[in-house]
Amino acid sequence: MSSTLPNKTLALVDCDSFYCSCERLFCLKARKKPVVVLSNNDGCVVSRSREAKELGIVMGVPYFKIKDLCQEKGVMVFSSNYPLYADLSSRVMRTLYHFAPEVEVYSIDEAFMDLSSLPFASAEDFAIEVRQTLYKEVGIPISMGIAATKVLTKVATKLAKKNKRGVFVIDEHTDKEKLLTHFPVEDLWGIGHQSALKLKILGIRNAWQLLNANEALIQKTLTVVGKRIQQELKGVNCIELDLEKEHKQQIISSKSFERSIWVRNDLQEALANHALRASAKLRQEEQVCFGLQVFIHTNRFKESPQYYNSATEYFLSGTNSPQDIIQKSMQALERIYKDGFEYKKCGIMLFDVRPHCQLQLSLFDQDHSERAKKEKIAQTLDQINQKFGPHSISFFACGTKTPWDKNGSKKSPSFTTNWKELPKVY
C-alpha cells in the first residue's frame, strides 16, 4: 500500500458486453438482434447485449427462466465459446500496449492503464482515440473511465457506459460530491452484498458518504479492504497496478453434471477428468503443485438431502504428473464419498503451485527414473492431444463415456483459433 505517487492518471478499459460483442463479430444476423451468451453448461446468462438488458434479462439468471422470453422476442442465444473470447481478448490487450507501456490485464475483458507519463493534451480525446482504434482494428466496442485511482476509474467506467461517447473522465474539475452522492455504495468495486449491508446499518448508502465516514469506523467494519476503497475514493492510490502478474497460485477444474450422479464409479470418472485437465493446465503454465483439494456436492437448489465435503492431499515433492494427480484425487474422494446422495458437482483445486524450475526434490522422493518416466508420459500425452485434438488420448480412470458431461449446444465455431472452423466468405 502506498500513497507516495500523487496525481496519477489511470484508465480502465472495459469491453462492452464482451462475449456478446465477440459473437456479433462473426454473426451478422446477431448484430441486429438482442444477444445473450450462456455459462458453461448453458445454465445461466453471463453476457447480455444492450438490447437484451433492455428486455429485462438480468445477469446470472437461469436460462430456463427466460427461454420463452427469448423465443418471443427473437433473442439470439449462444453457448460460451471460450477460445474465441480468449483470442479476441488478447488482440484487444495487444492493441492497448500501443497506447501505453503500463497495462494491467485485469480480466478477460478489462485492463487498467497508467497514463501518468503520457504527453496527451486531453484525457478525453485520448480515450476516444483508443476507443475508435479498438473498434476499427479488433471490432470490439469498449467503454473507458479515466481518474486518479483504480476505484475511481471503476466509477468513471460505469458512468461512461451510460453516455453516448463511452468515455468518462474524473479530474480536478469534476464535482465529486454531486457525482458520488448519486453513486450507490453497493455499486462500488469491492463492496459486495455483505459489506453494503454493514454500511447501511451505519447509515452509509452512497459513495460520498463512504468517502466522508470516520476512517477508523470503516476499517473496523470492513477491514483494510474497506479502508483502501475509502482512500481510493479520496484520490489516494492504495491499489497498485499489477504489471507483471505473478504465476497462478491455484488451479481449479470443476463443473456441474448434466444429470445427477448416484454411482460412485461415475463420480470417480468425472473427478479423474478434472484431475487430468487441471494437470494439463499446470504443465501449460510450466508449474508444479504440492497439494490438491477435492470437493463434491449435491444440488443446493433441490430439497433432497444435501451433502458437501472436501478433502486435501499433499505431495512430498512438487508434481504435474497426471498419474500422481489422478491417484491422489481418487484417495481424497474415497475419504469423503458417501452412498445415497444425488451428486451434482465435483471438482479439484491444485494449490501450493510454483514454477517448475523451482522444483526441489524431497528426500523421500521416488527415484529419478520413475519421475523421468512420468514426465515422458505427460509429454507424450500433451503432444498427442495437441496434434489430434483434446481427449484423443486419456487414462483408464477417466472412462470412455461421459454421460454426466454436457456441452453447449448453441456454440459458435472457433473462428479465429481453429483452422477447420474459419469463417466462410461467399
Partner DNA sequence: TCTGGGGTCCTAGGACCC
> Which range in 20-28, 101-109, 364-372, 379-387 contacts DNA by CB under 7 A?
101-109
Q: Is 120 in the site for DNA (CB under 7 A)?
A: no
> Which range in 49-57, 344-352, 388-396, 415-423 contacts DNA by CB under 7 A?
344-352
Q: At its nearest, how many Å lie between DNA and the CB of residue 322?
A: 16
Q: Is 191 in the site for DNA (CB under 7 A)?
A: yes
Contact 260, 342 (CB under 8 A): yes
Q: Is 320 in the site for DNA (CB under 7 A)?
A: no
Q: Is 127 in the site for DNA (CB under 7 A)?
A: no
Q: Which of 251, 276, 292, 333 binds DNA (CB under 7 A)?
A: 251
Q: Which of 260, 327, 394, 414 binds DNA (CB under 7 A)?
A: 260
| Between 120 and 308, CB nearer to DNA | 308
> Which range in 102-110, 132-140, 323-331, 360-368 contacts DNA by CB under 7 A?
102-110
> Which range in 21-29, 113-121, 160-168, 193-201 contacts DNA by CB under 7 A?
193-201
| Amino acid at the residue 84 | L
Site string for DNA, 11-40 (x = CB under 7 A): ----------------------------xx
What is each CA distance from 138 to 11, 54, 146, 228, 416, in whole angstroms?
Answer: 19, 26, 22, 35, 12
Residue with cell 452484498: 193
Q: At its nearest, how many Å lie between DNA and the CB of residue 139?
A: 19
Q: Is 409 in the site for DNA (CB under 7 A)?
A: no
**How many amino acids of this chain bind DNA (CB under 7 A)?**
47
| Between 331 and 380, CB nearer to DNA | 331
| Between 76 and 229, CB nearer to DNA | 229
What is each CA distance from 194 to 44, 201, 218, 355, 381, in whole angstroms?
Answer: 23, 11, 14, 36, 45
Q: Is 83 in the site for DNA (CB under 7 A)?
A: no
Q: Is 90 in the site for DNA (CB under 7 A)?
A: no
| Between 314 and 388, CB nearer to DNA | 314
Q: Which of 118, 213, 252, 336 binds DNA (CB under 7 A)?
A: 252
Site string for DNA, 270-299 (x = CB under 7 A): -----------x-----------------x
Q: Is 139 in the site for DNA (CB under 7 A)?
A: no
Q: Which of 183, 333, 345, 412 binds DNA (CB under 7 A)?
A: 345
Neighbours of 76 (CB within 10 A): 21
Q: Is 410 in the site for DNA (CB under 7 A)?
A: no
| Between 64 and 368, CB nearer to DNA | 64
Q: Is 196 in the site for DNA (CB under 7 A)?
A: yes
> Which range in 221-229, 332-340, 393-401, 410-418 contacts DNA by CB under 7 A?
221-229
Output the 3-class SS for the chain. Answer: CCCCCCCCCEEEEEECCHHHHHHHHHCHHHHCCCEEEECCCCCEEEEECHHHHHCCCCCCCEHHHHHHHHHHHCCEEEECCHHHHHHHHHHHHHHHHCCCCCEEEEECCEEEEECCCCCCCCHHHHHHHHHHHHHHHCCCCEEEEEECCHHHHHHHHHHHCCCCCCEEECCCCCCHHHHHHCCEHHHCCCCCHHHHHHHHHCCCCEHHHHHHCCHHHHHHHHHHHHHHHHHHHHCCCCCCCCCCCCCCCCEEEEEEEEEEECCHHHHHHHHHHHHHHHHHHHHHCCEEEEEEEEEEEECCCCCCCCCEEEEEEEEEEEECCHHHHHHHHHHHHHHHCCCCCCEEEEEEEEEEEEEHHHCCCCCCCCCHHHHHHHHHHHHHHHHHHHHHCCCCCCCHHHCCCCCCCCCCCCECCCCCCCHHHCCCCC
| Between 46 and 118, CB nearer to DNA | 46
Question: Contact positions toward DNA, by CB under 7 A?
Answer: 39-41, 43-44, 46, 60, 62, 64, 106-110, 154, 188-196, 223-225, 248-256, 259-260, 281, 299, 301-302, 310, 312, 344-345, 347
